[in-house]
Amino acid sequence: MKSRSCSRAGCSARGIATLTYAYADSTAVLGPLGLRSEPGCYDLCAAHSARLSVPRGWEVIRLPASDADTGPSTDDLLALAQAVRVAGLGVEAEVRPEPVVTRRKGHLAVIADN
């Protein structure tokens, strides 16, 4: 897996965390490095993730990084999604089973109807 560099201008350090904004909820989620680079997500190095600041009135959710440098697991990504749901709804949201992908074409996926 090719390492990704920090998204901050002028920084070429290796990215160790992924920052995602939930604009509707005024929330920033900083978690383990995502499986791949996604639009609207920003990879940050250790220095920039430690110094992260957000606009006044926003909330920051910092998910702990795993001890192993093996990359994020499915559990990490589900936990990140759950944290965003909880921040947005203010209550514990129903945890749904992971969807079953039946086909892929490029970045698109067909999800089985449960």
Q: Report yes or no on 2 lying in a domain.
A: no
Pick the more confident residue, 22 or 13.
Answer: 13
Number of domains in the chain: 1
Q: Tell me if 22 is assigned to some domain.
A: yes
Contact 16, 56 (CB under 8 A): no
Report the SS3 class of residue 11: coil
pLDDT > 90? residue 40? no
pLDDT surpasses 70 at 83? yes
Residue 71 pLDDT more than 90? Answer: no
Q: Could you give the 3-state DSSP secondary structure of residue 64? A: coil
Helix (H) or strand (E) holding 49: helix 46-50
Least confident of 28-37, 66-75, 82-91: 66-75
Question: How many Å apart are CA 28 and CA 8, to the nearest integer?
Answer: 16
**Domain assignment present for 26:** yes
Alpha-carbon distance of 58 to 66, in angstroms, equals: 25
38 in a domain, yes or no?
Answer: yes
Question: Which carries the bigger pLDDT value, residue 42 or residue 89?
Answer: 42
* 33 pLDDT more than 80: yes
85 exposure class (CB count in 10 Å sphere: 0-12, 13-18, 19+)? middle
Instruction: Please state, in angstroms and rounded to a whole number, the distance separating the CA atoms of residues 36 and 7.
Output: 13
The boundaries of the domain holding residue 28 are 17-111
Q: What contacts 106, CB < 8 A, 6 or more positions away?
A: none
